[in-house]
Amino acid sequence: ASAADWQQRSIYQLVTDRFATTNGSYPSCDTEDRVYCGGTWQGVIRQLDYIQNMGFDAIWISPIVANLEGSTGDGESYHGYWTVDQNSLNSHFGNESDLLELSSQLHSRGMYLMLDVVVNHMAADTLPPDYVLFAPFNAESDFHTFCWITNYNNQTNVEQCWLGDDNVPLADCDTESDYVIDFFYKWIGDLVANYSADGLRIDTVKHVRSDFWPGFAEAAGVFTIGEVLDGDVDYVSTYTEVLDAVLDYPTYYQLFYAFESTSGSLSNLVSWVQQSQSTYKNGEFMTGSFLENQDNPRFQSVQTDQALVSNAISWPFIQDGIPILYYGQEQGYTGSNDPYNREALWLSGYVEDKPLVKLVRTLNAARKAAIAASSDYLSTVLTFPSVTSSTLAVYKQPMLALLTNGGSSSTPSWSVSSTDYSNGEELINVLTCDTLTAGSNGAVSVTGSEGMPQILLPTSVFNVTYCNELL
Ligand code: ABC
Ligand code: CA
C-alpha cells in the first residue's frame, strides 16, 4: 500500500510476545524478567476482533526474523530486535504459515500489516561477536569496525559505531558495502512480497547513512515510516526527504510534557507542531503520531489523572499525521521504562467495556467521520485558533478539538471566535454526545467539566444515535 493509502489508516502497535497466546491461555509474565512470555502470530489472529472493534485498520507487529537465543545479561530477545539470521523467522512467534495466515486474515478484514525491520545491526552475546553465528553476514568484514556510540552530536559516530552494551553488542552492519547493500535491497523486496506486507516501520534510521534509504524504500515498494529517535525537528526533518514518513518524535516529547502535569506547556506543543508543519517534506501529514511505544515510559507511569490521560490520548487522533496506539494504553497500563512498558495484554483480560477502550473507539470513529465528510480533511493543515496556558483549540474542518491540561478538578472553557461552521450549525461533543450550536462566524464558546477534552463535529457528520451507540 502507498503513503496515501496509509494516511487514512489508524495503527495499533503491538509487541508480538506480549499481545496474545496461541491457545488463549493467560501465562504469568513478569516484565522485569525480560523473557519470552508466549505471545504468537496465532495469538494476534485470535484477538483481531479486539483490535478491529476499537476502529483500528492496521497493525504494526514486532520484528519477525530469527533472534539471539537463550539468556543474556539483558534478558532474552522477546522484543524481536536482536537479529541473528535475516533469512529465518523467529520460531517463538510461530512458523511461516502462521505469519501468512495473519497477513491473509488481516487483508480479509480490510486491515493492513506493518512489519518492523532492522538493518542497522545484528545482535551477539559476546564481544567480539562470533560472526559465524550470523546469517548471511558471517564475517567481521561485513560490519563496521567496533566502537561504541559515544557522541550523538557526531553523525559518523552515530552511523558507524555500535549500539548495545557489553551484554548484547549490536554489531553494526557495513551499510556502505555493496554486498550488504545488495543483500538488503533484495531481502526487503522478498520479505514484503512473501508476507504481502502493506508497510514497514524501519528501526534505527538515523544510525544508517541517509542515502542508503531511498533505494531500500524503492526496493520495498510499500509505505515506509522510519524511527529517528530524536526530539529535534530540524534533525528529524532531513529523514523526511528519504523515506515516506517518520515517527513524530519531536511532537511526542512536547505532547508528553504538555499533559504530564497541569503546568505543562501547551504553547510549546503548538510551536513544535508548527515548526514540523513548515519543515518536514510533507508537513505533519507523513508522520506517525503516538503517545507511547516500547522504548519510552507509558504516560500513566507519570500521570494517572484521567482527565490529563484523556486529553493526551486524544492528540494522535486529531492531528495531521497517522495515529498510532501502543497496545495496553487502552487498558490503562502504567509500566515505566523498558522493560516495564511491555506488559502482557492478556493480564487485562481484553476487557472492552472500559472508559479508555471506549474513548479510543470513539476517537477512531470521529477521525473516520471527518475523513469521510471532507475530501480535503487529509490535506488540510491543522490550526490552533485559541491557545491559553491551560486550554488549546485544535481545528481542522469539520473537527474542532478542545483540549486542556487543567486536570480533573478544573472547569475549562474555550472560546473560538471564528470557524467554517455556519451560524446555527449543530455540533456534537463525540465524547459525551452532548450537542451545542455554533454562533455567527462559526464561533464556538463552551464550558467543559472535570478537565475533560471535547471533540466537536457537526451532527450532520456524526449523529447523536451513532454517538450513543459508541458510548
Ligand atoms: C536493552 C535493555 C534495556 C537496556 C538496554 C541497554 O538494552 O532492555 O533495559 O537499557 C532493543 C530492545 C531493547 C534493548 C535494545 C538494546 O534493543 O527493544 O529492550 O534494550 O539491546 C530502536 C527500537 C528499540 C530496539 C532498538 C534496537 C532500536 O525502537 O526497541 O531496542 O534494535 C537509540 C536508537 C533508537 C533505539 C533506542 C533504543 O536507542 O537511536 O533507534 N530504538 C537518545 C539518542 C537516541 C537513543 C536514545 C535512547 O537516547 O539520541 O538515538 O535511541 O538511548 C530526547 C533527545 C533524544 C534522546 C532522548 C532520550 O531524549 O532529543 O536524542 O535520545 O530529548
Ligand atoms: Ca550503523
**Would you say the CB of residue 294 lies under 6 angstroms from ligand 1?**
yes
pLDDT computed for residue 78 by the predictor = 99
Q: Give dist(CA 337, CA 298) in Å, integer.
A: 7
**Does residue 118's CB lie within 6 angstroms of at least one atom of ligand 1?**
yes
105-137 pLDDT, tens digit per residue, is: 999 999 999 999 999 999 999 999 999 999 999
Ligand 1 closest atom vs CA 207: 40
pLDDT band at 406 (very low <50, low <70, confident <90, very high): very high
Mutate to test the pocket of ligand 1, among 160, 229, 272, 293 (most ligand atoms within 8 A of CB): 229
pLDDT of residue 261: 98
Which ligand has the nearest atom to the CA of 156?
2
Q: What pLDDT, on the 0 to 100 scale, is given for residue 230? A: 98
Q: Is 425 noted as a catalytic residue in this protein?
A: no
Atom 17 of ligand 1, residue of closest alpha carbon:
81
CA 76 to centroid of ligand 1, rounded, Å? 16
Q: pLDDT digit string (tens) for 334-387? A: 999 999 999 999 999 999 999 999 999 999 999 999 999 999 999 999 999 999
Contact 318, 456 (CB under 8 A): no
User: Percent of the chain at pLDDT above 90?
Assistant: 100
CB-based neighbours (< 5 A) of ligand 2, an ion: 120, 159, 172, 207
The ligand that comes nearest to the alpha carbon of residue 63 is: 1
Mean pLDDT of the region 439-462: 98
Question: What confidence score (pLDDT) does residue 129 get?
Answer: 98
Q: pLDDT-derived band of residue 279, with 50, 70 and 90 as boundaries? A: very high
Tell whether ligand 1 has an atom less than 6 A from the beta carbon of residue 168: yes
What's residue 378's pLDDT?
97
The pLDDT value given to residue 155: 98
The pLDDT value recorded for residue 292 is 99
Phi-psi region of 119 (alpha: psi -120 to 50; beta: other; left: phi over 0): alpha
Ligand 1 atom showing the smallest separation from residue 227 Cα: 41
Q: Which ligand is nearest to the CA of 163?
A: 1
Rg (CA), the chain: 22
Contact 9/57 with Cβ under 8 angstroms? Answer: yes
**Secondary structure of the chain in HEC code, one letter for each residue:** CCHHHHHCCCEEECCHHHHCECCCCCCCCCHHHCCCCCECHHHHHHCHHHHHHCCCCEEECCCCEEECCCCECCECCCCCCCEEEEEEECCCCCCHHHHHHHHHHHHHCCCEEEEEECCCEEECCCCCCCHHHCECCCCHHHECCCCECCCCCCHHHHHHCEEECCCCEEEEECCCCHHHHHHHHHHHHHHHHHCCCCEEEECCHHHCCHHHHHHHHHHHCCEEEECCCCCCHHHHHHHHHCCCEEECHHHHHHHHHHHCCCCCCHHHHHHHHHHHHHHCCCCCCCEEECCCCCCCCCHHHCCCCHHHHHHHHHHHHHCCCEEEEECCHHHCCCCCCCCCCCCCHHHHCCCCCCHHHHHHHHHHHHHHHHHHHCCCHHHCCCEEEEECCCEEEEEECCEEEEEECCCCCCCCEEEECCCCCCCCCEEEECCCCEEEECCHHHCEEEECCCCCCEEEEECCCCCHHHHHHHC
Per-residue confidence at 169, pLDDT binned at 50, 70, 90? very high
Mean residue pLDDT across the chain: 98
Q: Which atom of ligand 1 is nearest to the CA of 294?
A: 30
Of all residues in the chain, what percent carry a pLDDT higher than 70? Answer: 100
Ligand 1 atom, smallest distance to 118 CA: 32
Q: Which of 116, 174, 203, 292 is catalytic?
A: 203
Rounded distance, CA 176 to CA 260, Å? 42
ipTM above 0.90, yes or no: yes
- Supply the pTM of this predicted model: 0.98
305 is known as an active-site residue: no
Average pLDDT score over residue span 22-50: 98
Q: Give nearest CA residue, ligand 1 atom 2.
A: 74
In the structure, what pLDDT confidence band is assigned to residue 425 with cuts at 50, 70 and 90? very high
Q: Is the CB of 63 under 6 A from ligand 1?
A: no
| Short-list 331, 323, 330, 305, CA closest to 452 | 305
Q: Are 189 and 213 in contact (CB under 8 A)?
A: no
Give the ligand 1 atom nearest the CA of 295. Answer: 30
Ligand 1 touching residue 164 (CB < 6 A): yes
Place of cell 494516511: 7
- Mean of the pLDDT values across residues 407-425? 98
pLDDT of amino acid 222: 98
